Amino acid sequence: MSLSSDLKVSLVQTPLHWENPEENYRHLSDLIRPLAGKTDLVVLPEMFTTGFSMDSARLAEPLNGPTLGWMVQTAQDLDAVVTGSIIVEEGGNYFNRLIWMQPDGHFQTYDKRHLFRMAEEDAHFEGGTAQLVVEWRGWRICPLICYDLRFPVWSRNRYENGAAAYDVLIYVANWPAARRTAWQTLLRARAHENQVYVLGVNRVGEDGKGIAYAGDSAVISPKGADLMEFETNETGVKTAVLSAEALNDFRVKFPVGLDADDFTLG
């Protein structure tokens, strides 16, 4: 399926107020309010209401909690999808859950599959079991979360009758500065191997545990080139245009998907 129109995407790279949702709502609203009518998609970092906290029992909210309300209103005001992950409680379990909120109030979710055991995330959260591919304004988009980036099988594009399952791969993250080379390298690798645009959105600043984050948020082309990149520790919002024509042409001229291996995930 060929794409027929471009997509404007806006990345938000910012410090996060530690375990303080209300301050994060306020701060993020100030940053993204000027995007109204000027973008199709706004991408926030992982755990954008709290920072990467393991205090899931205290900080979790139900899926229909205050953050969902904030996202509904924000998406409506912007006429754009707003996405990022938060801490959600469901059935007595806790999830690092990405919410994909459309301006009409409809939403979908993705639970982080790979939990970062080095921070004991696996001891405080349940891992997800299913991918999410959404369609938005003609584009098919697969949103993932942080540590998922290290596991290429989970994000591997699939092809049916020569058509790719998705066109854009998103990673929302709290990726520490100490491992920024891996972040930068793997984002570009995912673009090359899946022949898609990749959006990587990371926070900056220091969290409540003293861990520093450098940002390095970026939009990567299907050829692995930087279309847009934040400076280290830069705070703000940047918008890039994903070209439908460029992706269509590249897939026709260099159809690597036709030689992709068939596989299933257990």
pLDDT of 2 reads 85
pLDDT of 55 reads 98
Residue 261 placed within a domain: no
- Is 146 one of the catalytic residues? yes
| Residue 265 pLDDT exceeds 90 | no
The single residue of 112, 121, 126, 142 carrying the catalytic annotation is 112
What are the distances in angstroms from CA 104 to CA 75, 107, 139? Answer: 8, 9, 17
Mean pLDDT computed over 100-119: 98
Mean pLDDT computed over 34-57: 98
Q: Cα 144 from chain centroid?
A: 6
Instruction: Convert the pLDDT of each residue in 175-233 to its tens digit.
Output: 999 999 999 999 999 999 999 999 999 999 999 999 999 999 999 999 999 999 999 99
Residue 266 placed within a domain: no
Number of structural domains, the chain? 1
Side-chain half-sphere of 169: how many Cα atoms within 13 Å? Answer: 30
Instruction: Convert the pLDDT of each residue in 128-153 to its tens digit.
Output: 999 999 999 999 999 999 999 999 99
Q: Which of 163, 148, 156 is nearest to 116 (CA)?
A: 148
Distance from C-alpha of 264 to C-alpha of 131, rounded to nearest angstrom: 13
CATH code, 212: 3.60.110.10
pLDDT band at 161 (very low <50, low <70, confident <90, very high): confident
Residue 55 placed within a domain: yes
pLDDT of 224 reads 97
The single residue of 126, 142, 146, 229 carrying the catalytic annotation is 146
Q: Which of 63, 82, 178 is nearest to 136 (CA)?
A: 82
- Is 46 one of the catalytic residues? yes
Mean pLDDT computed over 56-79: 98
Residue 106 placed within a domain: yes
pLDDT of 134 reads 98
Residue 158 placed within a domain: yes
pLDDT of 240 reads 98
pLDDT of 263 reads 81
Residue 83 placed within a domain: yes
Residue 177 and residue 142 in contact, taking contact as beta carbons nearer than 8 Å: no
- Is 142 one of the catalytic residues? no
Residue 1 placed within a domain: no
Ranges 28-32, 46-50, 262-266: which has the least confidence: 262-266
46: which 2 tokens?
A: 């992982």
The single residue of 19, 46, 126, 229 carrying the catalytic annotation is 46
pLDDT of 211 reads 98
Distance from C-alpha of 251 to C-alpha of 155, rounded to nearest angstrom: 18
Distance from C-alpha of 214 to C-alpha of 45, rounded to nearest angstrom: 13
| Residue 26 pLDDT exceeds 90 | yes
Domain extent at residue 217: 7-254
Residue 89 placed within a domain: yes
Mean pLDDT computed over 238-266: 92
| Residue 1 pLDDT exceeds 80 | no
Residue 123 CB-density burial (10 A; 0-12 exposed, 13-18 middle, 19+ buried): exposed
Mean pLDDT computed over 50-54: 98
| Residue 122 pLDDT exceeds 80 | yes
